[in-house]
Amino acid sequence: MLTTAPRGTRDILPEEAAKWQYVEEVIRDCCRLYGYGEIRPPLFEHTELFQRSVGEATDIVEKEMYTFIDRGGRSITLRPEATASTVRAYLEHNLHAGPQPVKLYYMGPMFRYDRPQAGRYRQFSQFGVEAIGAQDPSVDAEVITLVLDLCTRLGLKDLVVELNSIGCPKCRQEYRQALLEYLSEHKNKLCKTCLSRIERNPLRVLDCKEEGCRALTAAAPQMLEYLCSECAEHFKTLQQCLHAVGAKYELNPALVRGLDYYTKTVFEVTWSGLGAQTAICGGGRYDGLVQECGGPPTPGVGFAMGLDRLLIALEQMGISIPTVNKPTVYVAALTNADNKDAFALLTILRRAGIAADKDYRQASLRAQLKAANRSGAKWTVIVGGEEKKRGAVVIRDMETGEQTEVPQDQLVSILKSS
């Protein structure tokens, strides 16, 4: 137990972390281009925030939250998602008083008591954006386009954007009734969880992953046929915006998303290569959420992308990621007595902005050169001997084995110019 991480968690070691850093950089750059500023909310919140915003009859609130009582007797939950926190922060800092929409993005760990398997963990990372305070369907189009541009820049291919509208509380009421009637007629085919949920939230059944429920929902009434004129108009304009930028999508009338707060637009980005866990990203519009959290009526739209699954997809598509874990220069000491000078030179190089490393075993020159080779360094600089007395060092080109003597005070500029 002491030597294994808790179930559903894992360590990301340097080689893999370098890939994460690359992806995170591309994400940050996309957000900059699209005008989203970073928010870093806390990793835990009052439990009530998630109960209120994510919704009582959801998988997350019913069975996936890490909730505990802290030493002050408060119920605290490790965040299972970050939209709730973003909306809470929007209200706490009066962001509704400034220009709208407020466009924010976040990146970081989320916690859910999920059943661990490939692409599904108990601690995983999400990148998400939220545009709070605008009704305009072009904002919905903007967040979808952001995802697509990000995926294009990362080289991801064959992703599918699935799109649907689940209407507003007004038109959904009528649909809910029709769906409830349909489901009630087929109660015997529902799974246990859905059976207990249909009265509270029949739409959840559309999102169930059980085989029987899936078969049932395929023939269920569809929300798109129940949209009110405002929701239908919004959905039409969104699609026109997507056409205008050449964004491809597929309509999926069964798509509802697992959180209670969505209204109108819902979408998911999937990749079939991920096996059972096909969803890389999910999002939509949540026009009732800010009010639900105690604020003024305020529209909003956003998405959350699972970075663990994104990285799995990159790996499986064979997309190579530029990583830079190698030192440029390896510093070797000719003898043990030169070790101190080797360390000093190493530090000079690092302070001059050159990635450098050395051997720490007080080993022979031969062993140090072997280690230099293994490190992938382009050059080895050897400190000691007659050269040292002359204020010089030897540079060895690790590819050709060619060695040249250079004055130590010119080393940095020589390395930088070659």
* Contacting residues toward ligand ATP, per CB under 6 A: 81, 112, 114, 119-121, 124, 126, 258, 277, 279-282, 304, 306, 308-309
**DSSP-derived secondary structure for 209-230:** -SHHHHHHHHTS--GGGG--HH
Buried b or exposed e, range 271-290, using 16+ CB within 10 angstroms: beebeebbbbbbbbbbbbbb
Task: State which residue, 283 or 384, has the beta carbon closest to ligand ATP.
Answer: 283
Q: Are 87 and 130 in contact (CB under 8 A)?
A: yes
Work out how close the CB of 139 gets to ligand ATP at its nearest, in angstroms, rounded to a whole number: 19
Crossing angle (nearest 10°) for helices 307-316 and 14-34: 110
d(CA 336, CA 340): 8
Element of type H or E holding 272: none
Token pair recorded at residue 31:
């957000």
Which residue has its beta carbon closest to ligand ATP?
306
Tokens in use for 143? 């967040």
Distance of closest approach, residue 66 Cβ to ligand ATP, in angstroms: 12
Instruction: Tell me which long-range contacts 170-173 makes (C-beta under 8 A, separation of at least 24).
Output: 170/228, 171/226, 171/227, 171/228, 171/231, 172/203, 172/223, 172/226, 172/263
What minimum distance in Å lies between the beta carbon of 6 and ligand ATP? 14
Instruction: Closer to ligand ATP by CB, 304 or 415: give it.
Output: 304
Residues 324 and 111 sit within 8 Å (Cβ to Cβ) = no
For residue 377, the minimal CB distance to ligand ATP (Å) is: 36
Please report how close the Cβ of residue 171 comes to ligand ATP at its closest, in angstroms.
Answer: 23
Distance of CA 173 to the CA centre of its chain: 34
For ligand ATP, the closer CB: 154 or 393: 154
**Closer residue to ligand ATP, CB minimum distance, 259 or 371:** 259
Residue 134 vs 266, nearer CB to ligand ATP: 266
Widest distance between CA atoms in the chain: 94
CB of 285 to ligand ATP, least distance (A): 14
Neighbours of 252 (CB within 10 A): 16
| Smallest separation, CB 205 to ligand ATP (Å) | 14
Contact assessment for residue 327 and residue 357, using Cβ atoms and an 8 Å cutoff? yes
Residue 84 φ/ψ, nearest 5 degrees: -60, -45
Closer CB to ligand ATP, 81 or 142, in the complex: 81
Closer residue to ligand ATP in complex, CB, 234/309? 309
Nearest to 255 by CA among 160, 395, 389, 352: 160
281 vs 372 by CB, closer to ligand ATP: 281
Work out how close the CB of 121 gets to ligand ATP at its nearest, in angstroms, rounded to a whole number: 4
